[in-house]
C-alpha cells in the first residue's frame, strides 16, 4: 500500500525458475548472479529505508552485450526488472515493489573517451559521479552536475532521473549537457544514440525520451556528456537573512550583480540548520553569533581571481547595507569552502538520522515557494518538524516533514494537500527527483491527461510487456488497459 493507492503484483509477470538462474549464470558468470540474502536486503531497500521490495535476484552485467542478453531473456520469459544504479533515488524508483529482478549497472564503470578540445566525456552508465568528477579534475574540467549523493550515485542513474543538483543554475539541465546515450530496450535491442555533437538536427532527438524516464523505457548503458572547463577562481559565501523576502531579493540581485559568475544559489531555513547541527556532530554553524531564520549559500565560479572576489565582496557589502543580509562569511580556503557546502549537502543525511521523513521535491514560483512551508507548519501544528531548503536559484523547494516514525495521520495531513497546493500555484510535484513509485499515481497534478496518455503510448511501444520498472512513473490503470 502506498498512500491511498493499493498496488497489486501484475499476475502476467512470471516468477524465476531454475532454468533462468542457469541462463543468467552462463551469461554473466556465477559470481555476478547475486542470490545472497544480505546483498539482496541492501539492494531491495531504498536510501530512505522507506521502500522495500522482495527480489530474490540481482544481476550485474559487465557490458552492453551482456545486458542486452539478460533483458532479452527477461522479456521473453515475462520477468519484470528494476534498473538500479547507486540506489540513492528518493522516490522509490530504484528498488523492486515485489519480486522484480534487479539489474545493477555498477560493473559497467569504464571511461570510454575524453576529448580535451570539446570537453566531451563518453563513459559507461555505472561510473560513480564522484569518480568522474575526480577524473575530470585532473584534466582541468568539471562535471556539469554535482549533488550530495555523488559518492554513490551513478551517471546512468543521474541521467535516468534527469538529476538537477547544485550547479543547474549555471550549467542547465542534463537535457542540455547530455549529448548522446546508448540504451537497451526491454526486448534486448541496443539503440545507439551516442552522438558527441552539440548540434544535430537529423530528425527526432530520441535520447531525450530516456533522460528522466527513470528506467521505464530502457536501460542506459553509455552516456556522452559535455563538461565545462574548470575555472581558476571559486568563491563561496554563507549568508544569513532574517526573512524569506530578503532571500528572494538577494537572488534577484545576485542574478544581476554576479550574473556571469554565479554558479550556485542554495537556501535553508533555521529548522534545516538545527537538524544538521543536532545530527551531524562534526559540522559547525559558520555564523554562530546569532540565530537567523534563513541561510543562503552563494558560489561564484570565474576566471579572474581578484576581479571575482572584488565583485562578490562588493555585492555583499551592498546586500548588508540594504539590510537584505544580516550576517555573512566568505570562505577563506578550500577547507572552509567544504565546511560551508557540508552544511547544505548534509541536510538529507541529518533528516535521515532524525527519524521518519516525508520528502517533497517541488518546483514553485520563487515568490510563493516558502508560503507552502509556513502553511504546512500551521497545518501540522506541533506534530512534526517542517523543514524547507533547496535550490532557490532554480525555484526548487525541498519540503521535508520529519517525525519520529511514519504515521498515517501525519501523511493524511500532508497529502493530498501538498500536491493540490503545488498544482494550484502552477508548480511541479517533482522538480528533480522523478516520480518513481511514490508519485506515479500523482502525475495528473502536474501533467495534462493527453500528455500522460502519450507517455503511456510510448511506454507500450518501447516495452509492450511492461517489464521495465513496473508500477513506477505512469499510473497503473493506463498500462493495464
Q: Does 171 bind ligand FAD (CB under 6 A)?
A: no
Among the residue ranges 4-12, 134-142, 156-164, 379-387, the one whose residues contact ligand FAD (CB under 6 A): 156-164
Residue number with the smallest Cβ distance to ligand FAD: 157
Residue 31 sits at the vertex; the CA angle it makes with 27 and 36, to the nearest 5 degrees, is: 120
Among the residue ranges 13-21, 63-71, 81-89, 282-290, the one whose residues contact ligand FAD (CB under 6 A): 81-89
Among the residue ranges 69-77, 153-161, 262-270, 332-340, the one whose residues contact ligand FAD (CB under 6 A): 153-161
CA distances from 48 to 45, 88, 94, 286, 402 (A): 8, 8, 12, 28, 12
| CA-closest candidate to residue 63, choices 214, 219, 193 | 219
When the beta carbons of 309 and 353 are compared against ligand FAD, the nearer one is 353
Q: Which residues pair with 413 in a beta bridge?
A: none
List the alpha helices (DSSP H) in 181-232: 207-210
User: Among 348, 395, 466, 470, which residue interacts with ligand FAD (rule: CB under 6 A)?
Assistant: 348
CA distances from 355 to 93, 358, 385, 399, 455 (A): 21, 10, 11, 16, 36
Among the residue ranges 34-42, 52-60, 144-152, 189-197, the one whose residues contact ligand FAD (CB under 6 A): 144-152
Q: Which residues, 101 to 120, sit near ligand FAD by CB under 6 A?
A: 105
Q: Which residues, 406 to 465, sit near ligand FAD by CB under 6 A?
A: 432-433, 436
When the beta carbons of 130 and 375 are compared against ligand FAD, the nearer one is 130
DSSP 216: S
Q: Please state the φ and ψ torsions of residue 224, each to the nearest 5 degrees.
A: -120, 130
Angle between helical axes of 334-345 and 347-354 (0-180°, round to 10): 40
- How many amino acids of this chain bind ligand FAD (CB under 6 A)? 36
DSSP 377: H
Angle between helical axes of 244-257 and 305-321 (0-180°, round to 10): 150
CB of 174 to ligand FAD, least distance (A): 9
Among the residue ranges 80-88, 255-263, 277-285, 455-463, the one whose residues contact ligand FAD (CB under 6 A): 80-88
User: Among 136, 163, 191, 399, which residue interacts with ligand FAD (rule: CB under 6 A)?
Assistant: 163
Cα 15 to Cα 323: distance, rounded to the nearest angstrom: 64
DSSP 443: G
Residues contributing to the site for ligand FAD (CB under 6 A)? 47, 82-90, 93-94, 105, 125, 147-149, 153-154, 156-158, 160-161, 163-165, 214-215, 219-220, 348, 432-433, 436, 469
Amino acid at each position: 500500500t502506498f498512500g491511498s493507492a493499493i498496488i497489486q503484483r501484475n499476475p502476467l509477470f512470471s516468477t524465476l525458475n531454475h532454468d533462468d538462474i542457469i541462463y543468467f549464470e552462463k551469461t554473466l558468470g556465477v559470481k555476478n548472479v547475486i542470490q545472497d540474502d544480505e546483498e539482496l536486503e541492501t539492494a531491495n531497500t531504498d536510501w530512505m529505508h522507506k521502500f522495500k521490495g522482495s527480489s530474490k535476484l540481482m544481476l550485474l552485467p559487465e557490458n552492453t552485450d551482456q545486458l542486452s542478453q539478460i533483458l532479452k531473456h527477461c522479456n521473453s520469459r515475462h520477468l519484470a526488472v528494476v534498473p538500479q544504479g547507486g540506489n540513492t533515488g528518493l522516490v522509490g524508483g530504484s528498488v523492486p515493489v515485489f519480486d522484480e529482478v534487479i539489474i545493477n549497472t555498477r560493473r559497467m564503470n569504464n571511461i570510454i573517451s575524453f576529448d580535451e578540445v570539446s570537453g566531451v566525456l563518453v563513459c559507461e552508465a555505472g561510473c560513480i559521479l564522484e569518480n568522474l568528477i575526480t577524473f575530470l579534475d585532473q584534466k582541468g574540467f568539471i562535471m556539469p552536475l554535482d549533488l550530495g549523493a555523488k559518492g554513490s550515485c551513478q551517471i546512468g542513474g543521474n541521467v535516468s532521473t534527469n538529476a538537477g543538483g547544485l550547479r543547474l543554475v549555471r550549467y542547465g539541465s542534463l537535457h542540455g549537457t547530455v549529448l548522446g546515450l546508448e540504451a537497451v530496450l526491454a526486448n534486448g535491442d541496443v539503440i545507439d544514440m551516442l552522438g558527441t555533437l552539440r548540434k544535430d538536427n537529423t530528425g527526432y532527438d530520441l535520447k531525450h525520451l530516456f533522460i528522466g524516464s527513470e528506467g521505464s523505457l530502457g536501460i542506459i548503458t553509455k552516456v556522452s556528456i559535455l563538461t565545462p572547463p574548470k575555472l581558476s577562481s571559486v568563491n563561496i559565501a554563507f549568508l544569513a537573512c532574517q526573512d524569506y523576502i530578503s532571500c528572494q531579493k538577494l537572488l534577484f540581485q545576485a542574478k544581476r550583480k554576479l550574473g556571469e559568475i554565479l554558479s550556485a544559489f542554495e537556501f535553508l531555513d533555521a529548522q534545516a540548520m538545527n537538524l544538521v547541527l543536532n545530527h551531524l556532530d562534526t559540522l559547525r554553524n559558520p555564523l554562530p553569533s546569532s540565530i537567523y531564520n534563513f541561510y543562503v549559500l552563494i558560489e561564484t565560479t570565474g576566471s579572474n581571481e581578484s576581479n571575482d572576489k572584488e565583485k562578490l565582496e562588493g555585492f555583499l557589502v551592498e546586500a548588508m547595507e540594504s539590510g537584505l543580509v544580516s550576517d555573512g562569511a566568505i570562505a577563506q580556503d578550500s577547507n572552509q569552502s567544504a565546511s560551508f557546502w557540508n552544511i547544505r549537502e548534509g541536510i538529507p543525511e541529518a533528516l535521515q538520522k532524525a527519524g521518519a521523513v516525508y520528502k517533497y521535491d517541488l518546483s514553485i514560483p520563487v515568490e510563493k515557494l516558502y508560503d507552502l512551508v509556513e502553511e504546512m507548519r500551521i497545518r501540522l501544528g506541533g506534530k512534526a518538524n517542517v523543514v524547507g531548503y533547496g535550490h532557490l536559484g532554480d525555484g526548487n523547494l525541498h519540503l521535508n516533514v520529519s517525525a519520529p516514525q511514519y504515521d498515517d495521520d501525519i501523511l493524511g495531513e500532508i497529502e493530498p494537500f501538498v500536491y493540490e497546493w503545488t498544482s494550484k500555484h502552477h508548480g511541479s510535484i517533482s522538480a528533480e527527483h522523478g516520480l518513481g513509485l511514490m508519485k506515479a499515481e500523482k502525475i495528473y497534478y502536474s501533467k495534462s491527461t493527453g500528455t500522460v496518455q502519450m507517455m503511456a503510448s510510448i511506454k507500450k511501444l518501447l516495452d509492450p510487456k511492461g517489464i521495465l520498472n513496473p508500477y513506477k512513473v505512469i499510473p497503473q490503470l493506463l498500462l493495464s488497459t
